[in-house]
């Protein structure tokens, strides 16, 4: 059996209708997993699920739209996954919000609360819903897609960076709590990746030049380059790794 084989596993990936989440779902399906595709809009979710079923066989993917800000919708997604696949082995908390771009002094209370709620508390909710069955089986993997922003200050995405730093600690704390039951909890910390979510940071040529000029690889990443890290953390290859943040940033943080 390959160290990266996910055959017989079931994975929930939030924010998986596009970008990093979609790439993770595609690569987990490639590795043999059944996957739940979820984001707010039903249409894009169904498109991704249909494409995966066409490629890997009917029953590979289901589409369950859910807004991460709704505990009820998250629970419905978990229930639908259990019904379709019989269990949840892997949870990827990828969806996040960043409704504000600017200095901290200008952020409204509502925007700050939304960032903290969607990027930290929603992850906690979803993990709480899925981990009990993993602990019972003595096997499971939780992956939080954080950001190198959690290691840095920023004049324009400060609140987002604060939430991503909190995700690192969420992973560490849950890894300590769940480790005795062989449930691993880790973060991936991507650098700048070419997604719609990060468009404000790479679409402008000047901003892009600034972002890449000091990085060893001199470019931004592609979503599939984060997906490999997720497959590693979810599979036997990553079975002795927990409570960690895996930085995948083209070397941006070494300078």
pLDDT at 132 over 80: yes
CB atoms within 10 A of CB 165: 19
Is residue 180 in a domain? yes
Q: How confident is the model at residue 209 (pLDDT cuts 50, 70, 90)?
A: confident
Is residue 80 in a domain? yes
Q: What is the pTM assigned to this prediction? A: 0.95
What is the set of active-site residues? 160
Q: How confident is the model at residue 144 (pLDDT cuts 50, 70, 90)?
A: very high
Is residue 178 in a domain? yes
Phi and psi (nearest 5°) for 62? -125, 155
Q: Using CA atoms, how far apart are residues 198 and 97, in angstroms rounded to an integer?
A: 11
Tokens of 209: 């030049």
Query: Domain range for residue 179?
Result: 10-248
- What is the tens place of the pLDDT at every residue in 4-36? 999 999 999 999 999 999 999 999 999 999 999
What is the rounded average pLDDT of the residues 222-242? 97
DSSP three-state, residue 10:
strand
Phi and psi (nearest 5°) for 142? -115, 130
pLDDT at 199 over 80: no
The residues, ordered by sequence, that sit 6+ positions from 251 with a Cβ below 8 Å of its Cβ are 215, 216, 217
Cβ–Cβ < 8 Å for 186, 230: no
Q: Using CA atoms, how far apart are residues 39 and 12, in angstroms rounded to an integer?
A: 11
Is residue 132 in a domain? yes
Q: Using CA atoms, how far apart are residues 179 and 116, in angstroms rounded to an integer?
A: 26
DSSP three-state, residue 253:
helix
DSSP three-state, residue 109:
helix
Total domains in the chain come to 1
Is residue 2 in a domain? no
Is residue 141 in a domain? yes
Is residue 115 in a domain? yes
* CA-closest candidate to residue 145, choices 215, 5, 247, 18: 247
CATH of the domain at 126: 3.40.50.720
Is residue 5 in a domain? no
């Amino acid at each position: 059996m390959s160290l990266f084989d996910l055959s017989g596993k079931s994975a929930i990936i939030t924010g998986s209708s596009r970008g990093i989440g979609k790439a993770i779902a595609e690569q987990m399906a490639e590795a043999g997993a059944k996957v739940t595709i979820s984001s707010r809009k039903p249409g894009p979710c169904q498109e991704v699920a249909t494409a995966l079923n066409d490629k890997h066989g009917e029953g590979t993917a289901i589409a369950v739209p859910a807004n991460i800000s709704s505990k009820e919708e998250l629970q419905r997604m978990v229930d639908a996954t259990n019904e379709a696949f019989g269990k949840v082995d892997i949870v990827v908390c990828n969806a996040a919000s960043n409704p504000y771009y600017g200095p901290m002094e200008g952020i409204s209370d509502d925007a700050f609360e939304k960032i903290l709620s969607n990027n930290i508390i929603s992850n906690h909710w979803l993990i709480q819903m899925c981990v009990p069955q993993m602990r019972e089986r003595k096997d499971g993997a939780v992956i939080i897609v954080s950001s190198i922003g959690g290691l840095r200050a920023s004049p324009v995405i400060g609140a987002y960076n604060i939430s991503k730093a909190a995700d690192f600690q969420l992973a560490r704390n849950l890894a300590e709590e769940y480790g005795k039951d062989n449930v691993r909890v880790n973060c991936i910390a991507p650098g700048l990746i070419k997604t719609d979510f990060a468009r404000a940071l790479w679409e402008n040529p000047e901003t892009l030049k600034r972002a890449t000029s000091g990085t060893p690889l001199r470019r931004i990443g592609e979503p599939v380059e984060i997906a490999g890290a997720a497959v590693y953390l979810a599979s036997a290859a990553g079975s002795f790794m927990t409570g960690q943040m895996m930085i995948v940033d083209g070397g941006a943080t070494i300078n």
